Amino acid sequence: MSRSLTRLTPKTTYVLYGWTKDNSWSSRSVSFDLTDLGRISPGTVRYDDISANGDESPITVPLAEFKATACKDR
Quote the longest CA-to-CA distance of the chain.
45
- Does 24 fall in a domain? no
Closest CA to 57 of 31, 18, 25, 19: 31
Single-letter residue type at 49: D
The domain total for the chain is 1
- Does 47 fall in a domain? yes
- Does 27 fall in a domain? no
Where in the sequence is the domain holding 71, given as residue range(s)? 33-74
- Does 56 fall in a domain? yes
- Does 63 fall in a domain? yes
The rounded distance, in Å, linking the Cα atoms of 29 and 24 is 16
Q: pLDDT digits over 2-57, tens only? A: 788 889 999 999 998 889 999 898 888 889 999 998 889 999 999 888 888 989 89
pTM above 0.75, yes or no: no
Q: pLDDT digits over 61-72, tens only? A: 999 999 898 777
- Does 20 fall in a domain? no
> How much is the pLDDT for 49?
86
- Does 4 fall in a domain? no
- Does 5 fall in a domain? no
Q: What is the mean pLDDT of the chain?
A: 88
